[in-house]
Amino acid sequence: MRLPFDNSYAAELKGLYAPWRGAPVPDPRMVLFNGELAEALGLDPQALNSPRGAAVLAGAEVPEGAAPLAQVYAGHQFGGFSPQLGDGRALLLGEVIDPTGARWDLHLKGSGPTPFARGGDGKAVLGPVLREYLMGEAMHALGIPTSRALAAVVTGERIVRDGGPKPGAVLARVASSHLRVGTLEFFAARGQREHLAQLVDYALRRHAPDRAEADDPALELLRFVRDAQARLVALWMGVGFIHGVMNTDNTTLSGETLDYGPCAFMDRYDPATVFSSIDRGGRYAYGNQPGIMQWNLARLAEALVPLLVARDTTEAVALATAEVEAFEPRYRAEWSAVLGRKLGLDEGGLPADPDTDPLVRDLFALLREQDVDFTGFFRRLSAVLTGDSAPVRALFDDPEAGGAWVDRWRARVDVAGEGAVERAAAMDRVNPIYIPRNHLVEPALQAAEAELDIGALETLLALLREPYRRRPGMEGFAEPAPPDFGPYVTYCGT
């Protein structure tokens, strides 16, 4: 099999990765294949969605044109620095250029141990692979920058994990790159300034080509990542997404969501929401995500200090610090825009810091006090504009209190007649009906892992691919978890 690869990482960054290949597998079979994505990439869906394609996407067969490699990176994990992580169980198979000219990594996760496996088996199991598949597709459909799944392949192996043997699997995923904050941290920690500079140049050319000629490329990259991540986290917050493991090795330079492990969506609004079993201190709780992203950007800034154009280190640190501090206003402005759209307000209808607006402050206090379903609330709010406030009021433990806030909000959205209908429609285009709710995702993944039955998963995937369109008969999929579900715990995808 031949794939139209154009491998810039392999060609331009020699010495910064390990050329490698996937482990052989007994019986590769396609479980899910993303034909729409394959087509968008300019790949031949029929050729790939085949037994041969399954072997290639499991990493067991190297297609012509590929230059598979394991990327090395470091990272701050839960605040502590690990000087060498790297792709322990993943391969960059190659890059493809889509018909619009955009470059994409084709990356395999679970394709066997690499030189950076640190004693791990290099494998992945089906449940977490399908979880990443589903989450990435859901996020993409919600308009959130993300890696996407091209395929999930079972390998025919049984992999021993905590709960006993599980079907082995590989996720083939696509991202605008797999460069991480941790990629730069790796070379910075080793004092390899040349490699660091090479990576900065490469990252800028790839993700911000219009800034590649900047006088201070490292500073320019810091600004770019800061702004991309400020936007990304605001979008996460707008849908109640909790990444769960925002280590710097899972933080991209591109501003895409990467590495779906113990991530989950929040049902009832509570900023302290945490699902991950390993996040005992709640470091990566919903409400902490903006602050953690800024912390991660500070680690990026530290890595870049040696490259900054400055008289001395003191000046370089000051430059970098100012850029990291600018994350806060930047994030607030992004959040103001996201929340303003969700609330159907005019552009600029919220202050640059939405928390200073009593309407916003009171809303979030109320949502929390009254255990209100986050997604359901925003979706039902639009109906108020067309005359029906009962559905949104019903979400509050005390519908009177909810109703009083809704009346204040209605007075603020100063539209009537046709304008109100249009405004409601605009809100419905940004407030999803369907999100990957934990009580739906979990049984779907369990059925897939236990019996290779992907029926429930496919139903869910179909809804999540059009999250704003109401489907008759599917009302139950829009409901919060039943009271007997939970407390819900997620596990890292190992």
Least distance in angstroms from the C-beta of 70 to ligand AMP:
9
* Residue 8: exposure state from Cβ atoms within 10 A (0-12, 13-18, ≥19): middle
Q: Does 383 bind ligand AMP (CB under 6 A)?
A: no
Q: Which is nearer to ligand AMP, 289 or 389 (CB)?
A: 289
Q: Considering only 82-90, 196-204, 205-213, 321-329, which stretch makes contact with ligand AMP by CB under 6 A?
A: 82-90
Q: Please choose, from the candidates 219, 224, 188, the residue with its C-alpha nearest in 3D space to the C-alpha of residue 318.
A: 219
Q: How many residues does the chain have?
A: 494
Q: Please choose, from the candidates 365, 360, 366, the residue with its C-alpha nearest in 3D space to the C-alpha of residue 342.
A: 360
CA dihedral 120, 126, 128, 130 (to 10 degrees): 140
Q: Does 122 bind ligand AMP (CB under 6 A)?
A: yes
Least distance in angstroms from the C-beta of 225 to ligand AMP:
18
Q: Does 121 bind ligand AMP (CB under 6 A)?
A: yes
Q: Does 185 bind Mg ion (CB under 5 A)?
A: no
Q: How many residues bind ligand AMP (CB under 6 A)?
A: 19
Q: Which are the contacts of 451, defined by CB distance < 8 A and separation ≥ 6?
A: none
Return the one option of ligand AMP, Mg ion, none that residue 89 interacts with (CB less than 5 to 8 A, by type).
ligand AMP
Q: Which of residues 257-276 bind Mg ion (CB under 5 A)?
A: 259
Q: Does 87 bind ligand AMP (CB under 6 A)?
A: yes
Q: Considering only 128-136, 220-228, 254-262, 450-458, which stretch makes contact with Mg ion by CB under 5 A?
A: 254-262
Q: How far is CA 250 from CA 136, 256, 259, 272, 289, in A?
A: 14, 10, 6, 21, 13
Question: How many whole angstroms separate alpha carbon 441 and alpha carbon 153?
Answer: 19
Q: Which of residues 247-266 bind ligand AMP (CB under 6 A)?
A: 250, 259, 261
Show the binding pattern over residues 373-392: x = contacts Mg ion (CB under 5 A), - = does not.
--------------------
> How many degrees, rounded to 5, is the angle at CA 134 between CA 179 and CA 438?
115
DSSP 161: E
Q: Which is nearer to Mg ion, 87 or 428 (CB)?
A: 87
Least distance in angstroms from the C-beta of 250 to Mg ion:
5
Q: Does 278 bind ligand AMP (CB under 6 A)?
A: no
DSSP 100: T
Return the one option of Mg ion, ligand AMP, none that residue 217 interacts with (CB less than 5 to 8 A, by type).
none
Q: Please choose, from the candidates 444, 459, 428, 467, the residue with its C-alpha nearest in 3D space to the C-alpha of residue 140.
A: 467
Q: Considering only 10-18, 83-91, 166-174, 204-212, which stretch makes contact with ligand AMP by CB under 6 A?
A: 83-91
Least distance in angstroms from the C-beta of 245 to ligand AMP:
6
Q: Does 163 bind ligand AMP (CB under 6 A)?
A: no
Residue with tokens 């994030």: 331
Q: Which of residues 219-248 bind ligand AMP (CB under 6 A)?
A: 245
Q: Which are the contacts of 17, defined by CB distance < 8 A and separation ≥ 6?
A: 9, 10, 69, 70, 71, 72, 92
Q: Does 494 bind ligand AMP (CB under 6 A)?
A: yes
Binds ligand AMP by CB under 6 A, chosen from 62, 117, 310, 401 = 117
Q: Which are the contacts of 275, defined by CB distance < 8 A and separation ≥ 6?
A: 242, 244, 262, 263, 264, 438, 488, 489, 490
Residues in contact with ligand AMP by the rule CB under 6 A: 85-90, 113, 117, 120-123, 245, 250, 259, 261, 492-494
